[in-house]
Amino acid sequence: MQKAVLTRALQLGWLASVMAVAYLSLKPGIRPPGDFGHIDKAYHFLSYCWLAFLPLLAFAKQRTAMNLSLAMIGLGLGLEFIQYFLPARTLSGLDFLANSLGVGLGLWLGLKLRPLVLVEAGK
């Protein structure tokens, strides 16, 4: 029962994270905190790293986890494309690059930690 609760919490946490990133990506006038140039690229990188990492811990079937993690590249591209049509937002190839690099690191970390986490959780 504990394992199922943890798994469900991780899955819901991932879904909430996806929704938060989508909302923040599409809401006009959002400025990330920080005072150095291109800090938004760091936020893009870290956000998509998290979005790709979490499914590898939250879903027992590796194929499902990998597909959800890789789908974050499509999410980043789709949100960037939508921003082109929104006032006060712009399409940015550098944002998409930061998103994709974040997905790459998230996948790498998730695949390295997945065996440890799944053994500990008894999956």
Of the candidates 119, 104, 88, which has an alpha carbon nearest to the alpha carbon of residue 50?
104
Residue 105: both structure tokens together: 């690191």
- pLDDT band of 35, cuts 50, 70, 90: low
Residue 81: both structure tokens together: 């494309």
Domain that residue 14 falls in: 2-29+36-121
CA distance 15 to 111: 19
Angstrom CA distances, 103 to 28, 56, 94, stand at 24, 12, 14
The conformational region for residue 119 under phi > 0 = left, psi -120 to 50 = alpha, else beta, is alpha
Q: What is the pLDDT of residues 36-47, one digit of tens each?
A: 778 889 999 999
Q: According to the model, what pLDDT value does residue 120 have? A: 57
Please give the model's pTM, rounded to 2 decimal places.
Answer: 0.89
Q: What is the pLDDT of residues 8-30, one digit of tens each?
A: 999 999 999 999 999 999 988 77
Task: Please count the structural domains in the chain.
Answer: 1
